[in-house]
Chain A
Amino acid sequence: MTSFLLAYQSVFDHILIYALLTMSQYIVLRAGTFSVSTPAFAAVGAYTTTILITRNGFSPVLAITAGAALATLMSVVIAHPLSRLRGVFQAVASLALVQVVVTIGLNWESMTRGALGISGIPKVATTGWLLVVTACVIWLLTIMGRFQIGRAMDVVREDETVAVSLGIRVSYYQRLAMILSGMLAGLAGGLYACHSYAITPEEFGFPMLVNVLAMAVLGGRTSVWGALVGAAVLTSLPELFRGFAEYRNIVQGGLLMLVIAYLPNGIVDTLSSLLHDRRVERSVTKAATGAEAS
């Protein structure tokens, strides 16, 4: 049993880190914002953490906090102009941001060592710590979802016009979502750096963007658990089909297309709405039979 756990520990760790990244994507999607800048903020978090630990000798906790803080700061700066754009244009602008960050990472060699990346990061993000952090984030996001802010985000996502007519400030909530997303992505990036021995700029490029988006969409966009399920499925899938490693991208791309076309609400949302429907049905029939009996 322990050997089994050890063999799959790294997969498990990956699931947790990617779940955090996916939650950063989930929170913007929940607010109806189509920013895909998670990898950019993750890169900022990861590089800040790495540089502070390896060059300035910061303690990992402090370094990760600083990384998350810097990513948050960046998202604060970016969020305002982004919230002025609509749907697809937010996606294009944030895509450009991701490319800009990767290009800076590749070319600012005195700071990031370019394409070689920075290695020798102490592996402090153990499974236990990752579990604790992920649990805390899930807890916070669930609580947040239940209060006014979560509901306002739901309205903004479902129908902007209705949101405006209810007096909800659309761009305010979108900005809030983007800032939260930046913070989470920075945190996840820092943990990512402290989990892998080395980081390179290209890890935080388009492939990560596609991965995270696919996970968020597969899991579902309205509940935190969707992010976890999406990350778990898409991280473990390649491990299960190791023989088909070359076709991994085809499977992932095809899955993304299929899910968008035929399961647009994702696994968790579809399941929970099914359960909800059944519960409603049952209570309706119970009420009906009760009425007949009396």
Chain B
Amino acid sequence: MLTQQIFNGLVMGSVYAVFALGFTLLFGVNHILNMAFGSIFMWGAFAGLYIVKTFDAPFVIALAAGMLAGGLLSLALDFVAFRPLRKRRAPDFASLLSSIGANLVLLTIAQKVSNTTVMRFPFDTFPIVIYDVFGLRMQLLQLTIMAAGLLMVLALGYMLYRTGVGRRIRSVAFSEKTSRLLGINAGVVNAQVFFISGALAGMAGVLIGIAFNSVHFLMGEPFLMQAFVVIILGGLGSMPGALIAGLVMGIVQTLSYAYISSAAAESIAFGVLFALILIRPTGLFAQASSIMRIQRR
């Protein structure tokens, strides 16, 4: 029973990790806490569902559609909500407020579109196959989710640390001014980062939508709150931190749902977030540069 729950937790955790990686990438490069990230996640799920329903598309296409929708939406948000602020060199708080406004708009539109109902994927979107490995019940869907998450993390890692695009992204994250001086087009890099992070959120949306088989306009809000815990725990802007903290969060949450209660699971998440940010705001994997940005002594 315990190993089963841990396995389920790992499945959830890999989705958290994908979502948190997107969020923390955006923060690491642009220093934006994007409160509309939950809405991008939700719109990714909407797009995947729409594709499946209208074109009877297979799972992979739905996933791709979700990623594309999330990426484009995030890109659009960059141009509408964040670029004017960056041009003015507004403080970080301004972009936080702007993203709260954008979130409100996106949520309300989604509520209109979905008529405040809970939508479901058609029954045969994903074949129900169950494997029995050493007494563990593993669904094919769960394995696919984990594989997709793992693949995404590996691809992102490869892109960031082994390609030219990744090198440019990392240099802009380190110092936008210096990279501009070195001839890097920071505007393009920012757009790429927005697209990638949005695509990760959209993918997480489709995965969660199909795992619980429910897509509704409020699905992003609790997810964003839990992702906050993951991101703070892992240290803002730290990629390995987000990955590990995401998996831990998935397991802890699944265990507390299974053994305590769902209400308790929620309060535990928020309580942990609050305690964590007060006691150790730099998270478990802090770097010297992020400590300076977070705390004052």
Contacts and interface: CB of A to CB of B under 8 A. Distances in A.
A91 B84 contact: no
A261 B273 CA distance: 30
Contact of B101 (A85, A86, A257): A257
B294 A86 contact: yes
A253 B102 contact: yes
Interface string A51-82: 00000000000000000000000000000011
B108 interface: yes
A257 B98 contact: yes
Interface stretch (B134-142, B161-169, B274-282): B274-282
A87 B104 contact: no
B266 A210 contact: no
B277 A261 contact: no
B90 A88 contact: no
A264 B88 contact: yes
Interface in B41-94: 80-81, 84-85, 88, 90-94
Contacts of A86: 293-296
Does more than half of chain B's interface fall in helix, strand or loop, or is it mixed?
helix
B243 to A, nearest CB: 20
A32 B88 CA distance: 18
Given A82-B278, A96-B228, A106-B263, A256 B296 contact: no
A152 B80 CA distance: 35
A255 B101 contact: yes
Interface in A83-120: 84-89, 91-93, 95-97, 99-100, 103-104, 106-107
A86 B98 CA distance: 19
Given A97-B274, A100-B270, A261-B85, A88 B104 contact: no
B87 to A, nearest CB: 9
Interface in A172-227: 206, 210, 213-214, 217
Nearest to B99: A257
A104 B267 contact: yes
Nearest to A33: B93
Contacts of B267: 100, 103-104, 107
A274 interface: no
A160 B297 CA distance: 13
A253 B105 contact: yes
A261 B100 contact: no
Contacts of B221: 206
B210 interface: no
A99 B229 CA distance: 12
A130 to B, nearest CB: 28
B107 interface: yes
A281 B274 CA distance: 50
Give the size range of B's interface with the partner: 35 or more
Contacts of B266: 103
A92 B277 contact: yes
B188 interface: no
B13 to A, nearest CB: 21
Nearest to B83: A261
B284 interface: no
B295 A85 contact: yes
A99 B92 contact: no
Contacts of A88: 31, 33, 92-93, 96
B258 interface: no
Given A91-B93, A253-B108, A262 B84 contact: yes
Nearest to B77: A257
B91 A87 contact: yes
A107 B263 contact: yes
Contact of B81 (A103, A170, A257): A257
B295 to A, nearest CB: 6
Contacts of A210: 100, 104
A249 interface: yes
A87 B295 CA distance: 9
Nearest to A209: B100
B104 A256 contact: yes
B101 A170 contact: no
A250 interface: yes
Contacts of B93: 34, 87-88, 91
A171 interface: yes
B245 interface: no
Nearest to A93: B277
Contacts of B271: 100
Interface of A: 34, 81-82, 84-89, 91-93, 95-97, 99-100, 103-104, 106-107, 160, 170-171, 206, 210, 213-214, 217, 246-247, 249-250, 252-257, 260-262, 264
Given A34-B96, A86-B296, 4 more contacts: A88-B96, A100-B270, A100-B271, A257-B105
Give 9 nearest A-B pairs by CB, closest first. Answer: A253-B104, A256-B101, A253-B105, A257-B101, A81-B278, A261-B84, A249-B108, A96-B274, A253-B101
30 contacts: A84-B297, A85-B295, A86-B294, A87-B91, A88-B92, A88-B96, A93-B274, A96-B270, A96-B274, A100-B267, A100-B274, A103-B266, A104-B267, A106-B263, A107-B267, A210-B100, A213-B97, A249-B108, A252-B104, A253-B100, A253-B103, A255-B101, A257-B102, A260-B85, A260-B90, A260-B97, A260-B101, A261-B81, A261-B84, A264-B94
